[in-house]
Structure 1
Amino acid sequence: MSALVVAAHPDDEVLGAGGTIAAMAAAGRPVTILIVAEGVSLRHQGITLEQARETCREAARRLGVTDVRFGGFSADGTLIADGPQSQVVSLISEALQDVRPETVLTHHAGDIHADHRLLARSVVYATRIMASGTVRRVLHFEVLSSTEQQTRQADTFVPTVFQDIDAFVDAKCHALEAYHYETFDAPHPRSTHGIRALAGYRGVQVGAGAAEAFVLGREFVGAATWTGGGA
């Protein structure tokens, strides 16, 4: 089963689904990572666009993935949400047609970051008629320092799907360390300490050593599944 990970900014893919990405890659599943806007990295002095993209590629390599793509949005550092959603939907739709994934992982619609919310809605829109394409499952992940900072005024992240990442927490931390200009020391949530703490907590929820949590957005199950014939 192939997967497409759609992330707003560099390091979102690691924080949100790094352990799951590593687990899928280790199992031989094709994984493609789409970073919609890498412009956020350019706010750091001395970081060029190509350096930002190479950092994304290095983080992906540490997770076992080589197919990393870039949307090129917000090169001037502005929010994706400041532009028309139709352009984002088109970008995602093109990636879906090219990659033909069965699973799509992306942000949660209740996130505190406007870009994350827009991307979640855009993925839902691009995958809205699931029987007409290859996508069978859409999962929404949580991003430390962003999703958990939202208040109850919005849609709260309440996970319904958990991935065992006990064997891949180290790989996730190693990948985050590639983004040295986006990480902080403990107790900041965007840190290796934060990753291990959240993975341990999500693991406790389901009786595993460590886990990543997702909200199931939509799933299409073929009729043959109910008769034992497979999806």
Structure 2
Amino acid sequence: MRVLVIAAHPDDEVLGAGATVSALSQQGALVQIHILAEGVSLRHSGVTLEEARERCRAAAKKLGANEVSFGGMATDGRLLADLPQRQVVDSVNQVLRGTAAEIVFTHHPGDIHADHRSVAQAVGYGTRILGAGSVRQVLHFEVLSSTEQQTGLVAPFTPNVFYDVTGHVEAKCRALAAYPYEVYEPPHPRSLTAVRTLASYRGTQVGVVAAEAFMTGRELRGPLAARLDGVDVR
């Protein structure tokens, strides 16, 4: 199985789906992480583009991901959301065509961060006709300090897909630690305590020790054999 994680900035991929990447990688899935914009010039003075990329590669290694790629967008200090939508869509389409991924994890379209919404919309556009490509499922993740900060009046995050990540939360924490300038002390939502707490809470929602939660964006299923009253229905 090929999996693609499309995120706006380094650390989003870990916060959104880090433990799931670790679990899927351990099960033999081929996972590629694609970061559209490093964003360091806007958020962190003194952090170079190459340093941000190296930290991203280090985080991916801790999760067991096979490949990390970069879109190199918005390197002039602008937000992704400031770019023409077509430019973001074209960049997403390019990576979608090049990976042959079956599952795509990306941002939630109701996120408070404009860049996150821009990426979610671009992925939605690029996967709008699932039958025309390899993607069969699009899942939207939550990013602590961002997704939960949006008011419930705007596309609330109400998860309907949960991955059991029992035993993989610490890998997520180790990967997040590769970005020391992105981790804060509790009670900040982007703390290791918050990461563990959220995983535990999502786990209680589905009866496992720890889980990561997602919302289905799109899904295409093939015909499945089912037995109904002893009759094989196809």
**Count of aligned positions:** 227
Per-residue deviation, 1:44: 2.0
Q: Does 1:220 align with 2:186?
A: no
Per-residue deviation, 1:42: 6.1
Structure-2 change in CA distance of 1:81 and 1:213 (3 Å): same
Q: Which residue of 1 aligns with 2:16?
A: 16
1:53-74 Cα distance to aligned partner (Å, 9 max, x none): 0000000000011410111112
Per-residue deviation, 1:43: 3.7
Q: Which residue of 1 aligns with 2:123?
A: 123
Conserved? CA contact 1:43–1:77, under 8 Å = no
What RMSD, in angstroms, separates the aligned Cα atoms of the two structures? 1.3
Conserved? CA contact 1:109–1:120, under 8 Å = yes
For residues 226 and 95 of structure 1, the distance between their equivalents in structure 2, rounded to whole angstroms, comes to: 33
Per-residue deviation, 1:227: 5.9
Q: Which residue of 1 aligns with 2:4?
A: 4
2:189 alignment partner, SS class: coil
Larger-Rg structure: 2
Conserved? CA contact 1:25–1:64, under 8 Å = yes
2:155 alignment partner, SS class: coil
Q: Does 1:157 align with 2:157?
A: yes
Gapped runs of 5+ residues in structure 2?
Answer: 228-234
Amino acid across the alignment from 2:58: E
Gapped runs of 5+ residues in structure 1?
Answer: none
Q: Does 1:207 align with 2:207?
A: yes
Amino acid across the alignment from 1:47: V
Aligned ranges 1:159-198 → 2 under 5 Å: 159-198=159-198
Conserved? CA contact 2:4–2:104, under 8 Å = yes
1:100-141 Cα distance to aligned partner (Å, 9 max, x none): 000000000110001111111110110011011110000000
Q: Which residue of 2 aligns with 1:70?
A: 70
For residues 18 and 40 of structure 1, the distance between their equivalents in structure 2, rounded to whole angstroms, comes to: 20
Q: Which residue of 1 aligns with 2:54?
A: 54
Per-residue deviation, 1:18: 0.2
Q: Which residue of 1 aligns with 2:90?
A: 90
Amino acid across the alignment from 1:154: V
Conserved? CA contact 1:202–1:213, under 8 Å = yes
Amino acid across the alignment from 2:172: K
Residue identity (%): 58
